[in-house]
Chains A and B, each alone.
Chain A
């Protein structure tokens, strides 16, 4: 069975500082990994995905993520956080061996302070 873990319920960072949101995964086959962001009373917005190829994936709004197969991780990063980045972030995995469903982590709340 596929699973995703986001070990931090909340991450606090000062505006302008680097932001990292951690994600580890477990799948039986090749992982297809996604990051989404959710603002209050809104649906999930797609940020980026890793399917194959370069381990460093660049996405929307200046976010990037690094795929590390040996550590089964896919951490989300942003070099300089903005107050507007404060939101709920979800990591998800899609394993073809388990069908087409997305399996989500529990989410990490990011709070960027001015």
Chain B
């Protein structure tokens, strides 16, 4: 186990609703990255937070937003849910010495979101 935890494990929402997913990083890690993994595909990068600041964003619309807290835990918020948002959402933590580090990202078990 990596020590990265995510909650909830599963979630069912309807179109148009809003959802908040949570991630606790591994002890001592200062960076959290979020990924979306659709069924049968590889994970797609959503964004990364390094020391509470957004540090890169993938090709996702603004209704995907996030936060990182002083204890380096993080939230992913998705507004106006669409059917295509159904996926496994993964967070990964790393101990990055700089904002452009290459340290290993360790993944949590994910949150399975279903949008009906």
Contacts and interface: CB of A to CB of B under 8 A. Distances in A.
11 contacts: A42-B109, A43-B6, A44-B90, A44-B92, A51-B102, A96-B100, A100-B33, A100-B101, A101-B33, A101-B48, A105-B42
Interface string B40-58: 0111110010100001101
A23 to B, nearest CB: 11
Contacts of B110: 42-43
A45 to B, nearest CB: 7
Given A43-B90, A46-B107, A104-B35, 14 more contacts: A42-B109, A43-B2, A43-B107, A43-B110, A44-B43, A46-B2, A90-B42, A94-B102, A100-B31, A100-B33, A100-B96, A102-B43, A102-B105, A105-B42
Interface in A82-114: 90, 92, 94, 96, 99-107
Nearest to A9: B40
A99 B44 CA distance: 14
Contacts of A94: 102
Nearest to B41: A106
